[in-house]
Amino acid sequence: MDRPAPFKINGDVIAPGTRRTVDIPVSTLSNHTPVNLSVHVIHGKRPGPVLFVSAAIHGDEVIGVEIMRRLLRATPLKSVAGTLLAVPIVNTFGFLNHSRYLPDRRDLNRCFPGLSGGSMASQLAHIFMTEVVQRADFGIDLHSAAIHRTNLPQIRLTPGNARLADLGQAFGAPVMMESRLREGSLRMAAEEAGVDVLLYEGGEGLRFDEFAARAGLNGILRVMHQLKMIGAKGVPRTRGVPVRASQSSWYRAPRGGLFRGYVAVGDAVQPGTVLGAIANAFGDVESEVVSDMGGIVIGRTNMPVVYEGDALFHVAETSRGEAAAEDISAHLDAAPLFDEDEII
Ligand SMILES: [Zn+2]
């Protein structure tokens, strides 16, 4: 088999069979501190696809950073075919500030593909596109819910993309949902550049969540195995059947007040299921939030103090709610420990 050519990035040359962290200059902070886009490159001895994995495009979505830390230590990555470009923290500014946004208050995931002479967000988007995305054949972008919200681990798919549907199935998250591409998102810019991207959602902003960390790590390893980048050894088998959903609804607060949730992410609901209730502080006024559909709770707020109109529950519509909930609990029960020191 032919040995692959060295991988070139940012003027660095990475030999086949080696790995290195490359710091790509982005900007300088007002106090003279340099800001880099740091990319860990694992360039395999054997030829294969180039896969990028990115996290913290939203700076407070730290679960993806933890997934990446585990991924880079994972044993199957000791022998890789092709090249992995791992970017644990895309939005360094937001990560340092525990914020979803950039210091200029822009959302990086609405600024793709970016411009070299644009706003700070636009410049960062441009560097990420040209140095990482456009060098890859395929990508996985890791996200979580915003702060005070949690998401059931789920894959978001571009509608009508059969290759992504296959790789999403291989990822093996409990839920797969089609969601349209948003203008300015990494997913849309990458698709336009011919690079398919799977989006993983799991857990809560600024929090670690063991189930979401394991589901994300296991999913990336399964996709790498499906792409023949790594062997089967050390890659956990898929548990349960991913629940496919093409529609979902948000249930919003009918009034402001104190919110109690009665269902958790992964629970099955039926038309008429009471999802939660909102009361005033005196306890003499109470409103229930009732599901009008059958499905699975894929996201909810963790904030007990709500305004009228706040999003409380995200429910994916599926006709096989109870069976799907059993599949999801199979994921939970069976999530194997990756290695002993990962127990939290
Ligand atoms: Zn996000």
Tell whether the model's pLDDT for residue 342 goes beyond 70. no
How far, in Å, from the CA of 141 to the mean position of ligand 1? Answer: 9
Check: CB of residue 181 under 8 Å from CB of residue 49: no
Q: Torsion-angle region of residue 24: left (phi > 0), alpha (psi -120 to 50) or beta?
A: beta
Looking at residue 306, which CATH number applies to its domain?
2.40.50.100
Owner of token pair 């970017």: 87
Residue 255 and residue 149 share a domain: no
For position 269, what pLDDT does the model report? 96
How many A from CA of 251 to the centre of ligand 1? Answer: 20
Span from the CA of 144 to the centroid of ligand 1 (angstroms): 6
Q: How confident is the model at residue 338 (pLDDT cuts 50, 70, 90)?
A: very low
pLDDT of 240: 76
The count of structural domains within the chain is: 2
Residue 341 lies in a domain: no
For residues 265, 73, 227, 85, the Cα torsion angle rounded to the nearest 10 degrees is 100
Ligand 1 centroid distance, CA of 2 (Å) = 39
Distance CA 269, CA 210 (A): 24
pLDDT, mean of residues 52-56 = 98
Nearest C-alpha neighbor of 279 from the set 297, 294, 261, 300 = 261
10 Å Cβ neighbour count for 190? 25
Note whether 215 and 106 are same-domain residues.
Answer: yes
Domain residue limits at 292: 247-332
pTM of the full predicted structure? 0.94
90 CA from centroid of ligand 1 (Å): 11
Same domain, 210 and 272: no
- Whether residue 126 sits in one domain with residue 27: yes
239 falls within a domain:
no
User: Do both 63 and 128 map to the same domain?
Assistant: yes
258 and 197 in a common domain: no
Same domain, 211 and 255: no
- Domain membership of residue 240 (yes or no) is no
Does 257 share its domain with 321? Answer: yes
Name which of 217, 237, 180, 228 is nearest 72 in CA terms.
Answer: 217
Report the separation in Å between the CA atom of 299 and the middle of ligand 1, taken as the mean of its atom positions: 14
CATH of the domain at 213: 3.40.630.10
Q: Would 62 be classed as within a structural domain?
A: yes
Final residue belonging to a domain, choices 226, 259, 294? 226
The pLDDT value given to residue 340: 39
Integer Cα distance of 265 and 272 in angstroms: 17
Instruction: Give dist(CA 47, CA 267) in Å, integer.
Output: 43
Inside any domain, residue 253:
yes
CA 343 vs CA 63, 86, 213: distances in Å:
15, 24, 11
Residues 57 and 109: beta-carbon distance below 8 Å: yes
Any domain includes 160: yes
Give residue-wise pLDDT tens across range 170-228.
999 999 999 889 999 999 999 999 999 999 999 999 999 999 999 999 999 999 999 99
CA of 279 from ligand 1 middle (Å) equals: 31
